[in-house]
Amino acid sequence: SESLAPGFLAECEREQLHHVQSIQPWGCVLGGRTGAPIVEVVSANLPAWTGWIPEAVLGQALTTLLPEFPPQTELTDITNAPDAWMLAASDKRFYPALLAGPSGPLDGLLSCNAHNWLLELEPALPSEQQADAYRPVPHRLYRMPYSERDWASHCQYLADELRTASGFERVMIYRFRHDGCGEVIAESLRDGLPPYLGLRYPASDIPQIARQLYRLNSHRQIPNIAAPPVPLLSLEPEAVADLTLSDLRAVSPVHLEYLKNMGVTASLSFSILISGELWGLIACHHSAPRHLALPVRLRCAEMTQVFTLAISGYQSTQRLMDLNESDQEILALLAALRLVDDERDLIAELGTGRANVIDHTLAQALLSLARATGAALVDASNIVTVGQTPEVSDIRALVNWLHETVTAPIFVTDRLAALYPEAIAFAELGSGLMAVRVDGYRETGDRWFLWWRPEQPHTVYWAGDPRKGALFDEQRQVLSPRSSFARWIETTARQSEPWTDADWLRAKKFRSLVLHDINARFLGR
Ligand code: BLA
């Protein structure tokens, strides 16, 4: 597996995808410099598609070739608008049946960024397919999911509808996680295909430059991985055309290999943008060549666009519910803590310094507050543990380290071992740590509340999945989903599920309420 060498991955990140000087052969392109109508670049297949000879077209004004089209103003940058992140994709201009080519009408797509304008021509949708392509987006997609179950069925509905609309064999909603790796969260597939649902893939499967291109384009179509690319011909041989906004841009050879290894011949993906960030992709696969005409792609992109509204809505609902829930959790935890402290007077009772099992309610409240699998209450003389935690001696050493190293009252990391090598010993059950220090807790001095989360691969469930057999194909190449997943485990060793802002806020709120409690008791005495 030579291609797993770090040098190879760095190489991937350097590939200037938008500067490739060729296109896929399902259309042709003319281009020029932003602001000027002169055609400075055309694809070599121009004659077959338009009947025009490249030598005759290069150097001509587009306005001479197409007198009615387009207005000069459209050849100026649309991506430099202040709200470009919203507009870039939607501001490509679509001109149905712009031109009659030798083999039928051609649709035009005009795009423009800071460097180049591009006019791409591709076969227009046959009239018998038009009724389908122009059907409105299903109304159900506009319904806002409210509960987790609504959300799951909403995702499934979108995947199913997109599979119908696109005719692809497999449609996946692929969601990026905090560290750039991704997970298939919903899937619709033809009977008999192995599911990829729930699988994770490393961030390196989609390099940053590719992500940037998907941020700026609503979709990416690769109808046939075997189709030979067509070179661009340029007025100035040295000039490099910018294909950032091109639908036809030729595909990176590495990605073609990747698709081949996955058994995919045609792929189509739609970008899901939330607040300008790439939240995920809808990835569609087909084992035979498959090309969708522009209006059909645009309809699918529109369905995806509507789906982003659902995501935003669902996220807001979740945040509100989470806030409300966390208040209740914190109150329950405080009450349980009070009870333990009062009734048994923790300090006196646990004075032996041994770990103790504490009240069940307290234990549950403690773990659920931080969505953790282990927790401990630590003060100068006692350590009380709940769930899966390191050994008491390891906890003591950890707290000493926290005392010396951490000044902030709340400390979170999803890779403790990287900061504190002794944590390697318990990485499996405690790769992630959240620590909250409460100063001057009654007579005992500082008290620490510690929460652990296990190493990530152990919380990802697909091993043991009855469907996995089909995926464990040892004959497959380096970049098959299976080895891709193995690579993901490799890159996330000794890391836990990350702590979110919500986790941190809960800890902060908890801490301030504990402090408030202490003060109230102190004054009450
Ligand atoms: C592009 N990689 C992509 C795309 C996807 C994936 C969806 C967008 C293009 C498309 O729709 O085909 C990855 N596809 C996946 C994943 C699943 C899937 C994870 O279906 C899971 C089910 N790829 C690598 C490595 C490199 C790499 C090591 O694995 C490094 C060079 C590159 N991926 C790569 C490049 C592109 C890409 C360069 C851009 C292709 C392009 O737009 O030209």
ipTM score of the complex?
0.97
pLDDT band of residue 464 (cuts 50, 70, 90) is very low
- d(CA 290, CA 508) in angstroms, rounded, equals 53
Residue 252 Cα: closest atom of ligand 1 = 43
What separation in Å is there between the alpha carbon of 263 and the centre of ligand 1?
Answer: 14
What is the residue with the minimal CA distance to atom 6 of ligand 1?
206
The number of residues making up the chain comes to 525
Residue 336 has pLDDT above 90, yes or no: no
Q: Which residues lie closer than 8 Å to 392 by C-beta, 6 or more apart?
A: 354, 355, 383, 385
The structure's pTM equals: 0.81
Residue 202 Cα: closest atom of ligand 1 = 19
Residue 3 Cα: closest atom of ligand 1 = 28
Residue 165 has pLDDT above 50, yes or no: yes
Residue 254 Cα: closest atom of ligand 1 = 31
C-alpha distances (whole Å) from 429 to each of 56, 389, 390, 396, 454 are 70, 7, 8, 17, 4
What separation in Å is there between the alpha carbon of 277 and the centre of ligand 1?
Answer: 18
- d(CA 265, CA 225) in angstroms, rounded, equals 5
pLDDT band of residue 283 (cuts 50, 70, 90) is very high
User: Looking at the chain, which residues constitute the CATH 3.30.450.40 domain(s)?
Assistant: 2-316
C-alpha distances (whole Å) from 522 to each of 76, 340, 462, 517 are 69, 17, 51, 8
pLDDT band of residue 422 (cuts 50, 70, 90) is very high
Closest C-alpha among 200, 159, 195 to residue 183? 200
pLDDT score of 354: 39
- d(CA 292, CA 165) in angstroms, rounded, equals 10
Question: Does the beta carbon of 496 lie inside 6 Å of ligand 1?
Answer: no
What separation in Å is there between the alpha carbon of 323 and the centre of ligand 1?
Answer: 37
Beginning with the edge strand found earlier in the chain, give each strand of the sheet holding 410-413 in spatial order. Answer: 356-357, 383-387, 374-379, 447-453, 432-438, 410-413
Q: Which structure tokens are listed for 68?
A: 């009615």
Q: Which structure tokens are listed for 289?
A: 């060549």
- d(CA 367, CA 329) in angstroms, rounded, equals 10
Most confident of 221-235, 247-261, 312-326, 350-364: 221-235
Bigger pLDDT: 350 vs 381? 381
> What percent of the chain clears pLDDT 70, i.e. is strictly above it?
81
Mean of the pLDDT values across residues 137-142? Answer: 91
> What percent of the chain clears pLDDT 90, i.e. is strictly above it?
49
What is the residue with the minimal CA distance to atom 2 of ligand 1?
206
Helix (H) or strand (E) holding 285: strand 277-286
User: Looking at the chain, which residues constitute the CATH 3.30.450.270 domain(s)?
Assistant: 345-455+493-524
- d(CA 238, CA 394) in angstroms, rounded, equals 63
Amino acid at position 75, single letter = L
Helix H segments across 60-141?
A: 62-65, 84-90, 130-133
Q: Strand pairing of 356-357 and 383-387?
A: parallel
Residue 112 has pLDDT above 50, yes or no: yes
Question: Does the beta carbon of 205 lie inside 6 Å of ligand 1?
Answer: yes
Pocket test for ligand 1, best of 17, 172, 206 (most atoms within 8 A of CB): 206
Q: Strand pairing of 230-234 and 219-222?
A: unpaired
pLDDT band of residue 194 (cuts 50, 70, 90) is confident
Question: Mind listing the pLDDT tens digit for each residue in 37-93?
Answer: 899 999 999 999 999 999 999 999 988 888 877 655 566 655 444 444 344 444 688
pLDDT score of 521: 67
What is the residue with the minimal CA distance to atom 7 of ligand 1?
283
Beta strands in 348-489 (DSSP E): 356-357, 374-379, 383-387, 410-413, 432-438, 447-453
Residue 45 CB-density burial (10 A; 0-12 exposed, 13-18 middle, 19+ buried):
middle
Mean of pLDDT over the chain: 83
Question: Does the beta carbon of 206 lie inside 6 Å of ligand 1?
Answer: yes
Indicate the class that CATH gives domain 2-316. Answer: alpha beta
- CATH 2.40.30.70 is right for the domain spanning 345-455+493-524: no
- d(CA 153, CA 131) in angstroms, rounded, equals 28
Residue 110 CB-density burial (10 A; 0-12 exposed, 13-18 middle, 19+ buried):
buried
pLDDT band of residue 472 (cuts 50, 70, 90) is very low
Question: Does the beta carbon of 413 lie inside 6 Å of ligand 1?
Answer: no
